[in-house]
């Protein structure tokens, strides 16, 4: 539903702008009455089941939007639209594309996502000006060798197809910047992937990949890497060579250790290592001083390194779903922290330094074994949501009355007396409290 709303919103915006110069149409019938005058044609969500061959008469057409229809084929006459720069035909019922698609010599963007395409025509390699090729959510099992001829291609999306290997032809796309291969059936990546010297974003989550090629770590411009939901059991020492990396996601992967070199990635701003078997982190994590978001959810961590206090730019820290029994006092150095999640651990207490987190807006410590809360919690005057449910608390410090910004306070499944409950309610009259 969100996908359809987004498409319609973009059509509305584009149509509103172009209509002012009188060159845009949202009716095929009207457009064909004066075909030479049409530059943009918006037919999204019209319930179309077919297109007439006469669509090829729109020889000055630059943008054609056909998303969210019921088209099962595109006529060969589409190849006559040689001025076309954008062709949007996502969310239809296509199983193939016409050979004449290769005649669209000025095409910059081709979007055929959310169809049932099983094979691409060899002629697709003739699209010499193509920069964005969006093929996600189809039934592709392979790519034609001619794809290597798309020398200007910058973005290639292949998510949710049925690829079992990555064609060597893709690795010849020397200007490719974004490559997304999520949720295919890849078991490996070719060594030749190291030839993609311009690549800045690579995503391969949801594939049964068990090893990574050494050449991957030669990608000096790579800034975003998503490796989640695969069969990796370890990461190579050469990981630290990805010096430009800013965002790294390793989720739902059976690794148990991290190479020491990973802590040399000092340009990282977003690090997510969730759902692994990692039980220990190196003190060298403190080297990642540019981190803004650190997520270490659902691992087997028993301890948080003291050096985490060096990460003073972190605004969101997630440590939930581990085996932590305590938090280091150095956590109080994270004075830019807005969100702190430590639920589903084995914490029996919280550090006094918690009170130093004066920007904290959301704190979740539910499902632990807390028996008390430090008095310094009253310093968290910007706290909006506090969750302490399912612990072993019998009372709270009087300082909670200072939490004047608190609007949501979750406390049920603790051991409060009726008297203590009343005192909590009286201390925070403007807060919605769940006891």
What's the predicted TM-score (pTM) here? 0.89
The pLDDT of residue 23 is: 87
Mean pLDDT of 286-293: 98
The pLDDT of residue 16 is: 39
- H or E stretch including 32? helix 28-33
Query: Across-strand partners of 132?
Result: 109, 155
Indicate the pLDDT class of residue 435, thresholds 50, 70 and 90: confident
In whole angstroms, give the CA distance from residue 430 to residue 419: 19
Structure tokens of 323? 């085996």
Q: What is the percent of the chain with per-residue pLDDT over 70, rounded to a whole number?
A: 95
The pLDDT of residue 219 is: 96
The pLDDT of residue 151 is: 96
Three-state SS for 364? strand
The pLDDT of residue 260 is: 95
Whether 305 contacts 287, CB under 8 Å: no
Among the listed residues 264, 268, 157, 135, the one whose alpha carbon sits nearest the alpha carbon of residue 203: 157
In whole angstroms, give the CA distance from residue 8 to residue 386: 38
Burial class (CB in 10 A: 0-12, 13-18, 19+), 99: middle
- Domain annotation for the chain: domains and CATH numbers: 1-139 (3.80.10.10), 324-435 (3.80.10.10)
pLDDT in tens, 322-336: 999 999 999 999 999
Whether 76 contacts 100, CB under 8 Å: yes
- Average pLDDT of the chain is 93
pLDDT in tens, 12-61: 443 433 333 348 999 999 999 999 999 999 999 999 999 999 999 999 99
In whole angstroms, give the CA distance from residue 316 to residue 168: 39
How distant, in Å, are the alpha carbons of 33, 45, 113, 180 from that of 41? 13, 13, 19, 29
Structure tokens of 219? 């990608």
């Amino acid at each position: 539903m969100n996908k359809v709303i987004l498409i319609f919103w973009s059509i509305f915006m584009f149509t509103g702008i172009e209509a002012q110069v009188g060159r845009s149409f949202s009716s095929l019938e009207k457009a064909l009455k004066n075909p030479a005058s049409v530059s943009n044609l918006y037919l999204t969500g019209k319930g179309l089941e077919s297109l007439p061959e006469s669509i090829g008469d729109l020889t000055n057409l630059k943008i054609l939007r056909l998303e969210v229809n019921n088209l099962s084929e595109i006529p060969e006459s589409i190849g006559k639209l040689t001025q076309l720069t954008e062709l949007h035909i996502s969310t239809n019922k296509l199983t193939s594309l016409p050979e004449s698609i290769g005649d669209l010599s000025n095409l910059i963007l081709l979007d055929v996502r959310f169809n049932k395409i099983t094979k691409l025509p060899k002629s697709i390699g003739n699209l010499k000006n193509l920069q964005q090729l969006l093929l996600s959510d189809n039934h592709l099992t392979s790519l034609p060798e001619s794809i290597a001829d798309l020398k200007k291609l910058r973005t290639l999306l292949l998510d949710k197809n049925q690829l079992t290997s990555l064609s060597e032809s893709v690795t010849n796309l020397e200007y490719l910047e974004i490559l997304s291969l999520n949720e295919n059936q890849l078991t490996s990546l070719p060594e030749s992937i190291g030839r993609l010297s311009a690549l800045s974003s690579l995503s391969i989550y949801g594939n049964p990949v068990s090893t990574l090629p050494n050449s991957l770590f030669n990608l000096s411009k790579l800034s975003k890497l998503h490796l989640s939901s695969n069969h990796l059991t370890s990461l190579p020492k050469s990981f630290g060579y990805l010096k430009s990396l800013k965002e790294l996601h390793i989720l739902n992967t059976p690794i148990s250790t991290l190479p020491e070199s990973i802590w040399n990635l000092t340009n990282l701003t977003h690090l997510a290592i969730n759902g692994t078997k990692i039980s220990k982190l190196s003190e060298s994590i403190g080297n990642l001083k540019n981190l803004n978001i650190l997520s270490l959810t659902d691992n087997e961590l028993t301890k948080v390194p003291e050096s985490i206090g060096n990460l003073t730019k972190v605004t969101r820290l997630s440590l939930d779903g581990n085996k932590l029994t305590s938090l280091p006092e150095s956590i109080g150095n994270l004075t830019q922290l807005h969100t702190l999640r430590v639920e589903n651990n084995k914490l029996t207490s919280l550090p006094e330094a918690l009170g130093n987190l004066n920007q904290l807006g959301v704190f979740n410590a539910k499902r632990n074994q807390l028996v008390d809360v430090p008095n310094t919690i009253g310093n968290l005057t910007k706290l909006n949501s506090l969750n302490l449910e399912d612990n072993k608390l019998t009372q709270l410090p009087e300082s909670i009355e200072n939490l004047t910004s608190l609007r949501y306070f979750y406390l049920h499944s603790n051991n409060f007396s009726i008297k203590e409950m009343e005192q909590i309610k009286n201390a925070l009259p403007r807060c919605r409290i769940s006891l």
